[in-house]
Amino acid sequence: MAVKVLIPTTLRLFTNQQSELELEGTTAREIIQSLADEYPETKKALYDENGELRAFINVFVNSDNIKNLQHWDTPVKDGDEVMLIPAIAGGSERESVLGDDVKGEKLSNDEIQRYSRHLLLKEVGVKGQKRLKAAKVLIVGLGGLGAPLAQYLAAAGVGTIGLIDFDEVEESNLQRQVIHGSRDIGRPKVASAKDSIRQINPLVKVETYNYRLTKENALDIIEEYDVVADASDNYQTRYLVNDACVLLGKPNVFGAMYQFEGQTTVYYSKEGPCYRCMYPSPPPPGLVPSCAMGGVVGVLPGIIGTIQANEVIKLIVGGGEPLIGRLVNFDSWHMKWRELKIHKDPECPVCGKNPVIKELVEYDYEDFCGLKTEEEDEEPVESIEAKELKRRLDEGEKITIVDVREPHERAIAKFPDAKVIPIGQLERRQNELDPEIDTVFICKEGLRSILAVKTLREAGYEGKMYNLKNGTNAWARDVDKSFPQY
């Protein structure tokens, strides 16, 4: 029985970049097993050390999560679609999240003229526009998703917009983060975005937070806002935002993207699932690459970010059908939209029937997301600085350099005298390495190379292995200025 299996971008590394497969099977279990049999490298990505499907991956049959059907015994038939969704990221009488008692200030003549196209919509009208004026929205992250979010919410007349980000504008940001310009390179993103918002709509009040969102400050900051829009790019922040929103009863308008794919939904524990219901735990560090590692087509964050802005506006105005309990997955390369149902997990540790996460300060997000250094019982991955590697090479030491980057990255810049072995092939190609010679693994930022070392260690390779600290970007910065950073 042939079933179409849709492979997300983040897992195509293990399927020779195939996005759709025809596999045989009568249940979800048989289909996933067929995938693992045909592409053995997918096993490490799909299953943990106990042989269980990793918690950061959800399996859908057509539009339903198998968790809400018959789990692995969910039947499939000819023509069905099985889709793997990993983490990356009502009716017209619906009430506003501000509540019906919020009337809002009277609109001035200038505001009536500015927002006239909203006022002509009966679903928004004067009442809805006054709610937008009274609303406070926090945008977490001012990268690709945060840029269109801030621009369109400002244009829509959201009264107060909070911006939190600790980064500065870099040249590589400008390909997609359209709220910043060339003259803003080196400036804090919150300052650049604030200036842009003033140009778009001087009537909007902008609050800036030029530092990290942490478990110590998240509740105090988020409590001041009606809606949170999560435009972050890391799992630690996503779980932190989610938990704070659940504890405070705030809606979390979520967006995530990678290469050509994006996801959008609204996590609102008062009415539906939260982020932990969908993804109980994050992927191991380095297994799912970030946009900084794998890239992203420049227009995708504009599409996903504006969908987020649309969801924020609906929640504030009231009415419409917010994406609560529904996740929209968009494949821009194949121009396909899919809507998937997501459900509240009664066992969820933060919004379930018996929650165990009741205070942010009691929870270790770095440890949960695998960001802390290795546990005492785990052998640490030894790193080598770019300058030290250069010194040893110059002195004629015999060192094997293994490049685990993607082919299109190597097309940007080839690392001299490096052996090319993709991570998914390391285990079966370990005999190509000499355990008597030190091996240095390289990638762009030094994260996938850590995963490479761990992969070979688990496979029983006993040679000395190093991770090039901070990757080829460190080599370009500290050793070879002609080597491009990207």
Residues annotated as part of the active site? 291, 443
Q: Is 168 helix (H, G, I), strand (E, B) or coil?
A: strand
Distance of CA 67 to the CA centre of its chain: 22
- Measured in degrees and rounded to the nearest 5, phi and psi for residue 183 equal -70, -10
Are the beta carbons of 31 and 20 closer than 8 angstroms? no
- Which residues, at least 6 apart from 312, have a Cβ–Cβ distance to it below 8 Å? 137, 149, 153, 158, 227, 229, 253
H helix or E strand, kind and range, residue 136: strand 136-140
Using CA atoms, how far apart are residues 426 and 431, in angstroms rounded to an integer?
Answer: 9
Using CA atoms, how far apart are residues 482 and 410, in angstroms rounded to an integer?
Answer: 15
The residue ranges of DSSP E strands in 189-344, in sequence order, are 205-209, 227-230, 252-258, 261-267, 326-331, 336-341
Q: How far is CA 285 from CA 92, 234, 259, 306, 370, in A?
A: 42, 10, 18, 29, 6
Count other Cβ atoms within 10 Å, centred on residue 354: 8
Q: How far is CA 273 from CA 70, 182, 342, 345, 347, in A?
A: 19, 40, 7, 7, 11
Using CA atoms, how far apart are residues 182 and 121, in angstroms rounded to an integer?
Answer: 37
Using CA atoms, how far apart are residues 78 and 86, in angstroms rounded to an integer?
Answer: 24
- Which residues, at least 6 apart from 406, have a Cβ–Cβ distance to it below 8 Å? 13, 294, 422
Residue closest to 313 by CA, chosen among 115, 164, 128, 146 = 128
Residue closest to 361 by CA, chosen among 170, 471, 216 = 216
Count other Cβ atoms within 10 Å, centred on residue 319: 18
**Burial profile 222-258: b = 16 or more Cβ within 10 angstroms, e = fewer:** beebbbbbbbbbebbbbbbbbbbbbbeebbbbbbbbb
Residue closest to 264 by CA, chosen among 10, 89, 65 = 89
Are the beta carbons of 403 and 471 closer than 8 angstroms? no
Residue closest to 159 by CA, chosen among 111, 122, 193 = 111
Are the beta carbons of 173 and 186 closer than 8 angstroms? no
